[in-house]
Amino acid sequence: MKTATFPSIRIEPEFRQRAEKVLGKEETLSAFIETAVAEAVERRTVQKEFIARGLTSLAQAERTGSYHTAADVHKEAAARIAAARGKKGKG
């Protein structure tokens, strides 16, 4: 598959210098930018999916009239976390 490029962007020289100062050993500015964009895309994808699940859940709650308190949700989450931690200690 052919590769593509991102559009060039204009930045202040001081900002470029700051970016170059945080590069890892043998890391290029291009690689740094690609990683940053990939992470932003992943974060926004996860966020979009989270919002979609929330809206679906809201619609279902409105349709059925079945709601759960925050305390109940937190209690269930804490129980799941405790169970998962217990399984890790046994394995």
Parse the chain into domains and list their residue ranges. Answer: 13-90
**Better pLDDT: 91 or 79:** 79
Q: Confidence class of residue 90 from pLDDT cuts 50, 70 and 90?
A: low
Q: Which two tokens stand for residue 57?
A: 């859940």
**Better pLDDT: 89 or 47:** 47
Terminal-to-terminal C-alpha distance of the chain:
43
Contact call for residues 6 and 37 (beta carbons, < 8 A) = yes
At 27, the amino acid letter reads: E
Q: How long, in residues, is the chain? A: 91
Q: Confidence class of residue 62 from pLDDT cuts 50, 70 and 90?
A: very high
**DSSP-assigned letter for residue 55:** H
* Alpha-carbon gap, residue 57 to 36, rounded angstroms: 31
Q: Which two tokens stand for residue 31?
A: 């690689």
